[in-house]
A and B are shown apart, each in its own frame.
Chain A
Amino acid sequence: MSWFPLNRAMGTAGVKCLKITSPSIFSRRILPSTFRAAAPGYVKTRLFSTAEGDSPSPEPVSLATPPKPLPQQARVVVCGGGVVGLSVAYHLAERGWTDVVVLEQGKVTCGTTWHSVGLVSTMKATRTDMAMTRYSADLYKQWEAEGEGVGWKQCGSLNVARTLDRMIHLKRQHAVAKTMGVESQVVTPAEIQDICPVLRVDDLQGGLWIPGDGALTAPDVAMVFSRKAKAKGVQVIEDVGVEKVITENGRVSKVVTSAGNIKCEYFVNSAGLWSRELGKRTDPRRVNVPLHACEHYYLVTKPITGTNPLMPVIRDYDGYVYFREWNGGLLGGGFEPSPKPCFHQGPPDKFEFQLLQEDWDHFQVLLTEILHRVPAMETAEIRQLVNGPESFTPDSRWLLGETAEVANYFVATGMNSSGIAGAGGVGKQVADWIIDGRPSLNMWAYDIRRFIGHHNNKRFLRDRMQESFPATAVLKYPREEYTTGRKLRCSPLHTRQEVAGAVFGETMAYERAMYFKLDDDDSPENEDRRMWTYTKPMWFEAAQEEYWACKERVCLMDMSSFAKFELECISPSHSTLSASEEVVDFLQKLCSNDIDVDIGTIVHTGMQNKYGGFENDTTIARLDHNHFYMICPATQQSRAWTWLARHMPQDGSVHLRDVTSMFSGINIIGPHAQQLLADVSDISTSRSDFRPMSCKKIDVGSASGVWAMRLTHTGEDGFILYIPSEYALHVYDILMSAGKDYGVRNAGYYALRHLRIENFFAYWGLDLDDRTTPMECGRGYRVKFDKGDFIGKAALEQQRDHGVNKRFVHFQLEDYDVNLDLWPWGGEPIYRNGRNAGLTTTCGFGFALDSMVCLGFVRDFDDKGVEQILKNSNDFVMKDAKYEIDIAGTRFPAKPSIYTPKQNVTYVDPSFIPAPQKV
């Protein structure tokens, strides 16, 4: 039943090909066969024929089978019989959870899986991506070896580069792949020609050859998942659509289907194109599943004589296109820059084995590139142009994990056209997540909690498709910002900053000034100095100015994007706040640091999961006895809320409020900050009167109710003012005018980033994640084991007593020229005595150290690549160790440090500034 002739056995490939190329089979396999009543405007096409042999075919077999009765209850209900849903079910069953029901509204694979091209590439953007796709690839290879018949063809893949930047990108991938033992090879145009003679190579810079990659028959993979899951007891039920998911107390309780109700503990939304709409049908509170459908085109030719059946998969992403061999012909598809989003009003209920009307004019841009790269296709005839809708997410990464809105409601969807390559790894991770409460890899990049409500806005999603669809192909530079969906959340200072020359970036749709253009910066003339690049970016000088202003004078930085929460007790039985302890007790349980401190004191603390990893890294200010103000990274807005809400006392005594939009934050950084704040407020800001890590409610100018906190998140002295938003402009203006003689200026996030990286400040989401413990990042001193029980205590005690898995290290690159060499951007392999020891997390230039600084975790891998426990991590990192950091293939020596380097510590009370006194 395989779509692809070479599935069964490589040896009989030739014979199969011959058989397949007979016209009658073509018409059955590829051309439209049965047209049933299709939704208007959609083409109903079957790409592959009915079954021969053991593999169940979607339609006829199901028709023959009498409908199974729906079970009354199940532990897990998976909605969606595509390759991902089936993989989740399979992996649950593999781990012994067999009380699983998969519901498919049509037939298995009928949504998107059936028209998948079936490419399995392991060369991905990050290590986690690679780990997951490699897991998939290994699984499929194993199945093929076991005779399951998934059409696996290990033809390798060849990613080619037309530009030097693409070449750098490939080399960076190559460097990471090496650390994982993925075989890959940087090749020259001549070598490309040897590997794949049909390619035009005269305009190529080179490429990356990955011999272990392959292609397969996507629906067959889904069928094997289904068959293996069923064999373990999973029920796969077709023709049953999920109408509603009912929740009780914020947890999944029941699934209402077209064939009756199923009580369940867990629900997995793997509904692909339908996921967003399905999420909305959650009662009483809808679940946001931000994805949108987009048309994806590929063309299949009739057989071309001389086509090598083992031709590698070609990815020429500078021309947006990819190729594979297909039944003696070639398949060429792509990810064009101006795609056509579809199903804006939601996909039709019935869309089984259907395609969309093909738009040749739209495909032309890809066709030109296809013919450019493979001129032999010019004389080929068309078998079919396929326009199949696929779902894409706002950041082109998968949507996985438990949702913020409903406990035990998981998603595994939004596959961004890499469903087959991802399915195995995704199924495994989501199954682990359900069973263990966390995946076995750091999945933050794919965690659905990285989004907030606005991301589910339909118009935003449709606009973002213009970037997230081509993202598969278009080279995305480090830290490159999106251009769609911008100016959504703006702080009150936005316009002022814009006038001051701010260049904005976006986090959680919040506009943040990244840097302020220098007066002599005239961007159009700086054509050769680009904003997005692998080398020194054009904002470097501007960030440098801001950095020194923070170090030597004073800067204002808009911190409004940080997620902010207030926790207090509003239980009626405790009318006086001071009498009760609910919030303290609650936070003590969640935080690893001691938060039962004096009123007006600020604590940096992690919130650990039971494995000791950072669920969140926050700054908590005790405003009153039972009233706390909590500041988290902007990206934590959804996740932090979920974590807090899920652990809240059931009696409702603790009240949690998201006050992100209520308060604007202005960071006053620098040695003159204390004098400046004293000038505009009515308090003494001397270090004795206003201690570091303390907070006060003060008046600034004519504005009242401003929370001033003596911390800056950078390691420098200064204050953050949290101002009720409507007063923020006033406060900003008054600071700006009062600060004139202190040399006050605006600073952006690049300056902040450089300060904190140089000062060895780890940030959650960038350096820290839920698999990193405080002991591993030098924050053991913030864990108070003697304060009583807290989540993750046992795991941390274990690490304290027996050693950690990794250690956070500050590296300074040596023999490195910041002006000429490629920059590290995070994700570069670290080599310890020639052996891979991990990857960098974040990097930035240290202006005071005058060297490039990379932060990263150092691990001890044994010969098999298994992480060893570090008994004495200080010694392991510092003693007898020579480090190198690999930037796109070039290894730079690096000097390690586990503390903030001495020369970088500023003395915040310069002797020539008298401490301000107020009478």
Chain B
Amino acid sequence: MPKRNKASGANLIRFKLRNARIPDAVQSPRLTPQMVTSILRMNEEAVEESYGPVRSYVKNQLQSNKPIEDRSAQGHLVHGSASLFGVFDGHGGCACAQAVSDRLLSYIAVAMAEHDILAAINNGKLDPTTDLLQHIGDTNRLVNTDLATVHKQSLANFAAEAMAIAHFDGESVKDALVSAFLRLDRDIVTEALPSNLQGGSMDMSCYFDTLAIAFSGAVGCVAYIDGTDLFLANVGDTQAVLGVHNDNRWEAVPLSDTHNADNPSEVERITRCHPNEAPNIIKNRRLFGELVPLRAFGDVRYKWTKTDLKHLLNTKQIPKHVMSVFGDNLIPHKYRTPPYLDAEPEVMHHILTPKDKFLVIASDGLWECLSPDKVIQLVAGHLDGQQVLVNYKPNEGATLKEVNEVLSNRRVSLKNRALDSNTATHLLRSALGPDHGQVSAQLTLPQPIVRFYRDDITITVIFFDSEYIKDKDIKHTR
């Protein structure tokens, strides 16, 4: 979603559209249904691989920004049985979201690692970027080798320091997640400090990359699933909602709070840290009238000291385009007591029960179009419809009455059969339309305008294995 000046821009554009008298894009779709479907399915992914309580997951993505600023990442911890699913939403460019999606899961892996693993890393026996985490699904890792070296070094440092802190083993999952988030953010912030360039530890182009990462920003949400434990660490306005099937009814249970000005406790948290500055910080429901999320990775304009920022402005080698997006006011107005922003996640812990059927993690692009309740209904309906995708064959010895009862139930489900077999694509289509004309209109919005209508959308739906959970549940209670 556009983080800056959305409302006025949209009004302006709508006004222009009205005068242009072009054909109504909804009534006269410019795309054929086939085209719409192939666009919607371009980025879809489905992994049918059971891993602990996770039966399978699907994801999909639709861009609004060019290039898209959303990212997602999934992985298993090599040591242990946990799965990680992250959805990240960048702003001011995609660099930060890319870096967070590349790095955050490894940071969590390090934060979770036991002492002997960390020791192995320090001895060079394990590579912290590759040996702790097994990525699953598509990973679009774009980092160049120089930058990768920098990132790897930072991670190794983190591992070393983690080991140095005594009794790290005893740390709770929650603390580990928090420390991984904070540490990654700290690394992003410090890697871009001008001192790195002067110190000669980085060459120029690599430094520019770190700058791009640090000056852009990202929010994100990571689900950590291990046995029946589900932890959700969230920074910013990405959301995770659990689909709970209770007494034949579907219920949406949000597992994250959004960190923006709509959340009074967040506003209070910031103003508490910066007493007497309240009117300056939150303007127009944004941080300094600019940024929607009140927690984020990167965005060093709200984190660095004024000195550092000024220093950067004066550094001759910095090409103008890196900073030019912020215009003349790189330093926000009345910027007094930084940092104003951090990446401390809010972590929620949920114990999975057999009633918990799936988890939807999505960037705010989805939640702007669909309410959590609607999303859960759609996924549940789709799930129901999918059950009848498989041809029914009666069991040997079943009576006709039994067969008919099963078939009658399936008949209801048949109505839920959707156009898209991928649940994430189904959500995407429902968010944009679901009618063909509406979806086509959304997909043909010209590039400068599209951001005023919708944000990038990234959806990950994780399906739980109720049998596994039931099993664990019983053992647990015993």
Chain A residues packing against B (C-beta within 8 Å): 299, 301, 357, 359-361, 363-364, 367-368, 370-371, 377-382
Contacts and interface: CB of A to CB of B under 8 A. Distances in A.
A325 to B, nearest CB: 16
B119 interface: no
Given A367-B407, A368-B408, A360 B400 contact: no
Contacts of B7: none
- B contact residues, range: 10 to 19
Interface string B370-410: 00000000000000000010011110011111011001101
B391 A378 contact: no
B399 A357 contact: no
Interface in B388-442: 388, 391-394, 397-401, 403-404, 407-408, 410-411, 414
A184 to B, nearest CB: 31
A361 B399 contact: no
A381 B393 contact: no
B397 A360 contact: no
A164 B388 CA distance: 38
Given A361-B414, A364-B407, A364-B408, A379 B392 contact: no
A371 B391 contact: no
A370 B404 CA distance: 10
B404 A364 contact: yes
Given A357-B391, A359-B391, A364 B400 contact: no
A587 B397 CA distance: 72
B394 A378 contact: no
20 contacts: A357-B391, A359-B391, A360-B394, A360-B403, A360-B407, A361-B411, A364-B404, A364-B407, A364-B408, A370-B400, A371-B401, A371-B404, A377-B400, A378-B399, A378-B400, A378-B401, A379-B400, A382-B398, A382-B400, A382-B403
A379 B391 CA distance: 23
A679 to B, nearest CB: 45
A371 B400 CA distance: 8
Interface of A is mostly: helix
A299 B400 CA distance: 10
A361 B400 contact: no
B401 A360 contact: no
B404 A361 contact: no
Given A361-B410, A382-B398, A367 B403 contact: yes
A443 B391 CA distance: 44
Contacts of A378: 399-401, 404
B409 to A, nearest CB: 10
B398 A360 contact: no
Nearest to B404: A367
Contacts of B410: 361, 364
By Cβ-Cβ distance, the 9 closest A-B pairs, closest first, are A378-B401, A364-B407, A360-B392, A367-B404, A379-B399, A377-B400, A380-B400, A361-B410, A378-B400
Contacts of B403: 360, 367, 382
A647 B86 CA distance: 82
Interface of B: 388, 391-394, 397-401, 403-404, 407-408, 410-411, 414
- Which of A299, A363, A371, A382 is packed against the most chain B CB atoms within 10 Å? A382
A381 B411 contact: no
B394 A382 contact: yes
Given A359-B391, A361-B410, A379 B401 contact: yes
Given A381-B400, A382-B400, 19 more contacts: A357-B391, A359-B391, A360-B403, A361-B388, A361-B414, A363-B407, A364-B404, A364-B408, A364-B410, A364-B411, A367-B400, A367-B404, A367-B407, A368-B404, A371-B401, A371-B404, A378-B404, A381-B397, A382-B394
A364 B410 CA distance: 9
A379 B398 CA distance: 9
B244 to A, nearest CB: 28
A361 B394 contact: no
B91 to A, nearest CB: 47
Contacts of B391: 357, 359-361
A431 B293 CA distance: 86
A381 B400 CA distance: 6
Contacts of A371: 400-401, 404
Contacts of A301: 400
Contacts of A363: 407
A382 B406 CA distance: 14
B287 to A, nearest CB: 54
Nearest to A357: B391
A359 B404 CA distance: 13
Contacts of B394: 360, 382
Contacts of A370: 400
Nearest to A367: B404
Contacts of B388: 361
Nearest to B413: A361
- Which of A357, A367, A368, A381 is packed against the most chain B CB atoms within 10 Å? A381
Nearest to B397: A381
Nearest to A379: B399
Contacts of A357: 391
A301 B397 CA distance: 11
A257 to B, nearest CB: 38
Contacts of A382: 394, 398, 400, 403
Contacts of A381: 397-400
A162 B414 CA distance: 29
Contacts of A367: 400, 403-404, 407
Contacts of B393: 360
Contacts of B398: 381-382
B407 A380 contact: no
Nearest to A359: B391
Contacts of A364: 404, 407-408, 410-411
B108 to A, nearest CB: 45
B386 to A, nearest CB: 14
A357 B388 CA distance: 16
A627 to B, nearest CB: 51
A378 B399 CA distance: 6
Nearest to B409: A364
Contacts of B401: 371, 378-379
A299 B407 CA distance: 15
Contacts of A361: 388, 391-392, 407, 410-411, 414
A374 to B, nearest CB: 10
A296 to B, nearest CB: 18
